[in-house]
Amino acid sequence: MSRRIVVITAGLSRPSSTRLLADRLADAVGAEVSARGESVEVEVIELRELAQDLATTMTAGGMPTGRVKRARDLVTSADGLIAVTPVFTASYSGLFKMFMDVLDTDAINGMPVVIAATAGTARHQLVLDHALRPLFTYLRAVVVPTGVFAATEDFGGGEGGGGLAGRVARAASELAALVVSESGSVAGFAASAEELVAPRRRRSGNGVETDVTDFETLLGELGQ
Amino acid sequence: MQLGLFSVGDVTMDPTTGRTPTEGERIEAMTRIALKAEEVGLDVFATGEHHNPPFVPSAPTTHLAFIAAQTERLILSTATTLITTTDPVRIAEDYAFLQHLAKGRVDLMMGRGNTGPVYPWFGKDIRQGIPLAVENYHLLRRLWREEVVDWEGKFRTPLHGFTSTPRPLDDTPPFVWHGSIRSTEIAEQAAYYGDGFFHNNIFWNIEHTAQMVNLYRRRFEHYGHGSADQAIVGLGGQAFMAATEAEAKRTFRPYFDNAPVYGHGPSMEQFTQATPLTVGTPEMVIERTLGFADAVGDYQRQLFLMDHAGLPIEMVLEQVEMLGTEVVPVLRKEFEARRPAHVPSDPPTHGSLVAQGPESTFHLVAPARAAAATS
């Protein structure tokens, strides 16, 4: 069964070091998933290309543009995410947050995620754990233990470059393990299959949920 | 097919002159728009309900009674009546009173349509929005349909041996629509009682509107009120018209660009493409509106938003005139031509409900429950 990894990258320039890190992570995850005997497809969402669509969605009462809709579908149906942002003013970039804000709160329930960030200096590295990790925890994603932070010096050779390669490999391995194991339980071995599936139930927010609660139940809950 | 207007009642600066009407001027403008609607042959005028600036319509029954006194055939409605924060006893009495004054030319649209802070102003909790809409409306149905009510619920003080007065005109409560943009529970509620479902439509793409309407239609059939295509559907729409598309766009653009809801955001072109907003000739409005029926099926009520975003009253009156003389007659004819015979043309009116008689399912508090019991 082929797995689909979606990369969300919020770099603004071209070429961008954020995209560079995203690609290294994607390649490493691809290799790790393949090493486990599964094939993998990678799709990249360049948030820069969505900048105007995100602003339009925000200012049109939340009605998504076609491109925002497609991005939401991609993310919600992925088997794993790689999320990479530059550090701006002590946190993820505003563009990155705008994208997270247009996702449904049930869009990435139980989704395995690698978080990563780039910055000019290593002094920003805690951004992973004080900004990105809580954001994805709020969205009920499963963030792998290793976050990948790359300062400018890490893109060179020597100690910095070597350290980054190691962190990329470890994070990729952690994500691949979760992505490959993402196939649910064996039926009949759990108390209720529904209970197990429910926490992973995702929705893009693009369509209307058609499995409504029966009105008699709604009335009954109020004792009417 | 009923065609008419719905107003939000926003007090907005005219961006071309920098002038903001006073509240009094805006209220008077809304009245003139309603009277114009009757004059040019529209069927319905509906007013919003808001309790915060920049909106004026906080007292719809007062306003509708004033309009009723000056009109003869216009149906007066709301868009919406806040079923969440208004005491259902007040709604029952206010609208029954209005029914008597207006000789039955009244229906109403329930909605939750509140911004967060409005709930605590009326002692309610926004997190309880759906349960409030469910319980309050059920009580409202009982108040209108049972002479003496004994009732206990979660959100209001109990009632013992209570009779709301006056009783509905001819013992026939007004027809009710339920308005909802995204909440499937409200579509479900409308379907359960066999009431109408109204989708505001104007800020959403037609595919989304169609999904909501189709959900209501499917559940309407499920609850035994008729086939899905016979369900009572209403839609909103918005348009700005001129003799040519270029002229319409030139005139409307500053209003669009500065509108409180979508101004400074999407371009007018993006917005007209994504939503039902049409800025162009009356022919374009006709074509677009007929297209709604392709998406949601043959429906019974179409309301247009025409007085918003700071448009001056004279311009709005011209728009209403154009709607009444150039657009509505064609729409009426075309909608009738495409409608299959078994699909109702109009939503229920006071006259049609009285004619159905006191034994009709409309007079039951919970018609779906009764249908389930007999099947």
For chain B, the first-to-last Cα distance in angstroms comes to 32
Among candidate residues B203, B285, B209, the one with its CA nearest the CA of residue B243: B285
| DSSP state letters, B12-46 | --BTTTTB---HHHHHHHHHHHHHHHHHTT--EEE
The tally of domains found in chain A comes to 1
Helix A51-59 / helix A66-76 crossing angle, nearest 10 deg: 100
Partners of B135 on chain A (C-beta within 8 Å) are 222, 224
Structure tokens at B176: 């009710």
Question: Structure tokens of B340?
Answer: 């299959």
Residue in chain A closest to B263 (alpha carbons) equals: A59
**A59-83 per-position pLDDT tens digit:** 988 899 999 999 999 999 999 999 9
Q: Which residues contact B291 (CB under 8 A, 6 or more apart)?
A: B206
Does residue A98 have a pLDDT over 80? yes
Min Cα distance B62 → chain A (Å) is 31
CA distance B195 to chain A (A): 13
Kindly determine whether residue B275 and residue A63, on different chains, have CB atoms separated by under 8 Å: yes
Question: Is A73:A6 a contact under the CB 8 Å cutoff?
Answer: no
Domain membership flag for residue A127: yes
The number of residues in chain A equals 224
DSSP H or E run through B301:
strand B301-305
Instruction: Name the band, by pLDDT with cuts 50, 70 and 90, for residue A198.
Output: low
* Greatest distance between any 2 Cα atoms in chain A: 72
Give backbone dihedrals phi and psi of A185, rounded to 5 degrees, phi first.
-100, 170
Peptide bond between residue B88 and the one before it cis (omega within 30 degrees of 0): no
Residue A213 lies in a domain: no
Domains of chain B: 2-373 (3.20.20.30)
* Domain-embedded: residue A208: no
A186 located within any domain: no
**Burial group, residue B73, by CB count within 10 angstroms (0-12, 13-18, 19+):** exposed
Cα A155 to Cα B109: distance, rounded to the nearest angstrom: 62
Residues B132-152: tens digit of each pLDDT: 999 999 999 999 999 999 999
Tokens 């915060």, located at residue? B52
Q: Kindly list the residues of chain B whose beta carbon comes within 8 Å of any beta carbon in chain A.
A: 130-131, 134-135, 138, 152-154, 182, 184-185, 187-189, 191-192, 203-205, 208, 211-212, 215, 219, 223, 261-262, 264-266, 270-271, 274-275, 366, 368-369, 372
Helix axes B60-69, B88-101, angle to 10 degrees: 0
In A, minimum Cα distance to B365 occurs at A224
CB contact under 8 A, B154 and A222: yes
Give the Cα separation of A182 and A108 in Å (integer).
Answer: 13
Band (pLDDT 50/70/90 cuts) for residue A210 is confident
Buried b / exposed e across B284-296, counting CB within 10 Å, b at 16+?
bbbebbeebbebb
For residue A219, which residues of chain B lie inside 8 Å, CB to CB? 134, 138, 366
Q: Write the single-letter amino acid at B286.
A: I
Answer yes or no: are the C-beta atoms of A10 and A100 closer than 8 Å.
Answer: no
Check CB contact under 8 Å for A56 and B265: yes
Q: Rounded to whole angstroms, how far apart are CA atoms A108 and A113?
A: 9
Distance, in Å, from the CA atom of B327 to the CA atom of A106, rounded to the nearest integer, reads 43
**CB atoms closer than 10 angstroms to residue B174:** 24
Residue-wise pLDDT for B185-231, tens only, equals 999 999 999 999 999 999 999 999 999 999 999 999 999 999 999 99
Q: What distance in Å separates residue B266's CA from the closest CA in chain A?
A: 5
| Cβ contact A215–B266 (<8 Å) | no
Query: Which residues form the domain of A65?
Result: 2-180
Residue A187: inside a domain, yes or no?
no
Cβ <8 Å between B266 and A60:
yes
On the question of pLDDT at B294 being above 70, the answer is: yes
Q: Over the stretch B315-348, which tens digit does the pLDDT of each residue have?
A: 999 999 999 999 999 999 999 999 999 999 999 9
A56–B212 CB contact, under 8 Å: no
Are A208 and B212 a contacting pair at CB < 8 A?
Answer: yes
Contacts of A56 in chain B (CB under 8 A): 265-266, 270
The type of residue at B73 is R
CA B312/CA B308 separation, integer angstroms: 9
Dihedrals phi, psi of B161, to nearest 5 degrees: 55, 40
pLDDT at A61: 85
- CA–CA separation, A130 vs A126, rounded Å? 6
| Cβ–Cβ gap B274/A216 under 8 Å | no
B-chain residue closest to A223, CA distance: B153
In the structure, what pLDDT confidence band is assigned to residue A14 with cuts at 50, 70 and 90? confident
**Which of B226, B170, B178, B177 is CA-nearest to residue B350?**
B170
* Count of beta carbons in the 10 Å neighbourhood of residue A221: 13
Q: What is the mean pLDDT of chain B?
A: 96
Mean pLDDT of chain A: 91
- Is A191 part of a structural domain of the chain? no
Q: What is the pLDDT of residues A158-183, one digit of tens each?
A: 777 789 999 999 999 999 999 998 55
Task: Name beta bridge partners: A146.
Answer: none
The strand ranges marked E within B30-168 are 44-47, 75-78, 81-82, 108-111, 149-151, 159-162
Q: Is B9 helix (H, G, I), strand (E, B) or coil?
A: coil
Q: Which among B140, B150, B270, B277 is the top mutation candidate for probing chain A, defined by the most A β-carbons within 10 Å of its own β-carbon?
A: B270
Peptide bond into B312 cis (omega under 30): no
Output the pLDDT for position A190. 53
Residue A199 pLDDT: 56
Q: Write the CB contacts of B171 (distance below 8 Å, at least 6 apart in sequence).
A: B358, B363
Cβ distance of B266 and A56 shorter than 8 Å: yes
Residue B233, both tokens: 């559907």
Written as six digits, the tokens of A129 are 């754990």
| Other residues' Cβ atoms within 10 Å of the Cβ of residue B95 | 24
Residues in B closer than 8 angstroms to A224, CB to CB, are 134-135, 138, 153
* A200 has a pLDDT exceeding 70: no
Chain A interface mutation, best of B200, B205, B220, highest count of A Cβ atoms under 10 Å? B205
B340: three-class secondary structure by DSSP: coil
CB A48 within 8 A of CB A145: no
ipTM: 0.88
Provide the token pair at B343: 């699909």
The DSSP code for A65 is P
Prediction pTM value: 0.92
Would an 8 Å CB–CB cutoff place A224 in contact with chain B?
yes
Distance CA B290, CA B285 (A): 8
Question: DSSP letters of A71-108?
Answer: HHHHHHT-SEEEEEEEEETTEE-HHHHHHHHHS-TTTT
Asked if residue A185 has pLDDT above 70, the reply is no
Q: Determine what percent of chain B is predicted with pLDDT higher than 70.
A: 100
CATH of the domain at A51: 3.40.50.360
pLDDT digits (tens, 9 = 90+) for B49-79: 999 999 999 999 999 999 999 999 999 999 9
- Does residue A65 sit at the B interface (CB-CB below 8 Å)? yes
